[in-house]
Amino acid sequence: MDISVVIPLYNEEESLPELTEWIHRVMEENKFSYEIIMVDDGSSDNSWEVVEKLAEEYPRMKGIGFRRNYGKSAALNEGFGIASGDVVITMDADLQDSPDEIPELYQMITNEGFDLVSGWKKVRYDSKWAKNIPSKVFNWVTRKMSGIYLHDFNCGLKAYRNEVVKAVEVSGEMHRYIPVIAKWAGFNKIGEKVVQHRKRKYGETKFGWNRFINGFLDLITISFISRFSKKPMHLFGFWGSISFLIGLVITIWLIAEKLLNMKHQVIYRQVTDQPMFYLALLAMTFGLILFMSGFLGEMIARSSSDRNKYLVGKRLKLEN
């Protein structure tokens, strides 16, 4: 199969018929073999009923419905799990991503050898203050921290080689960092394509300012996980040892100073009367805590390897 289109959705019943027909037309015009995977993230409207009706009209559609809202990352993770196309395309369900971009994204993966191609909504129709400026700040920080120079990490329109989606695991709100996760998994050929951004036709945006705050917190999390999830002792053990040694050196210095003063019959203070002793004790205690945290983290990392599970209540034509 050429292409799997994975579409996470939440309360998008109005846009789904138009989006599905558009994708179908693009695929037929380009003679692609394809499947559409709709993942309903616990919608409270009639989105799942719409997906069921569309599946009767379009035999190449598959569906997964969560019992509750888990978030976009969970939806993508489950969609990736059943995607069988050589190239996996992700797009949002709100019609702001254009399916007309699919053929060129497909060619960039298959002919130009990219592992992942991320869309760049160079011209946007979102509110300048509510989304555009925070998004620019967010993308700048992410570029600097990750070393991946994409303009729009948040763009939902992306293309992946199938091996990439099978190798990465997306949880929490990590979907915006899939390029970062893919790079640290060894997929280094990451490209970018300017894509059309369309005005929202139905409903209203599901995202607010909190997603940018969560985004920065997630970036710190993913940076830590990618570097130290399998070797936490390298971080906690190192800094724990440094802290412990600093405290130990200060303690030895205070004791040596007291002994020298006693030897030369110089007035001295008891070690336990000096504030530096308690700072040294604090540093040693903190170092031990960090070291033990690294040790426990190492044990947990070696014993936990299961893929995240989400409570799926409905499935639609998942057999290949």
8 Å CB contact between 159 and 106:
yes
d(Cα 4, Cα 303) in Å, to the nearest integer? 33
Give per-residue pLDDT as tens, 120-136.
988 876 655 556 677 77
d(Cα 213, Cα 219) in Å, to the nearest integer? 10
pLDDT higher than threshold 60 for residue 308: no
User: What's the pLDDT score for residue 106?
Assistant: 98
pTM here is: 0.73
Q: Determine which of 157-171, 194-208, 229-243, 279-293 has the lowest per-residue pLDDT on average.
A: 194-208
Give per-residue pLDDT as tens, 165-193.
999 988 777 888 899 889 888 899 999 99
d(Cα 173, Cα 123) in Å, to the nearest integer? 25
pLDDT higher than threshold 90 for residue 142: no
8 Å CB contact between 184 and 167:
no
pLDDT higher than threshold 90 for residue 312: no
User: What's the pLDDT score for residue 316?
Assistant: 78
Give per-residue pLDDT as tens, 60-70.
999 999 999 99
Please tell me whether residue 315 adopts helix, strand or coil conformation.
strand
d(Cα 242, Cα 276) in Å, to the nearest integer? 17
Structure confidence at residue 256 as a pLDDT band (50, 70, 90): very high
Considering only CA atoms, which of 110, 89, 94 is closest in space to residue 34? Answer: 89
> What tokens appear for 179 in the block?
């390029």
Give phi and psi for 97, each to the nearest 5: -100, 135
d(Cα 49, Cα 38) in Å, to the nearest integer? 12
Structure confidence at residue 220 as a pLDDT band (50, 70, 90): confident
Give per-residue pLDDT as tens, 83-92.
999 999 999 9
Higher-confidence position of 143 and 227? 143
> What tokens appear for 16 in the block?
């789904």
Structure confidence at residue 9 as a pLDDT band (50, 70, 90): very high
* Pairing verdict, β 158-161 and 312-316: unpaired
Higher-confidence position of 267 and 66? 66
Structure confidence at residue 107 as a pLDDT band (50, 70, 90): very high
Give per-residue pLDDT as tens, 20-50.
999 999 999 999 999 999 999 999 999 999 9
Cα dihedral 217, 226, 193, 81 sign: negative
Structure confidence at residue 268 as a pLDDT band (50, 70, 90): confident
DSSP string, 43-98: -SSSHHHHHHHHHHH-TTEEEEEESS---HHHHHHHHHHH--SSEEEE--SSS-B-
User: What's the pLDDT score for residue 186?
Assistant: 87
Task: Give the type of residue at 11.
Answer: N
Sequence-distant (6+) residues with CB within 8 A of 223 are 145, 146
Task: Give the type of residue at 55.
Answer: A
d(Cα 42, Cα 53) in Å, to the nearest integer? 17
Structure confidence at residue 261 as a pLDDT band (50, 70, 90): confident
What is the DSSP code (8-state) at residue 204?
-
Count of Cβ atoms closer than 10 Å to residue 281 Cβ: 14
Give per-residue pLDDT as tens, 282-299.
999 999 999 998 888 777
In whole numbers, what is the pLDDT of the chain averaged over residues?
A: 86
Task: Give the type of residue at 78.
Answer: E
Considering only CA atoms, which of 205, 136, 146 is closest in space to residue 174? Answer: 146
pLDDT higher than threshold 90 for residue 217: no
pLDDT higher than threshold 60 for residue 102: yes
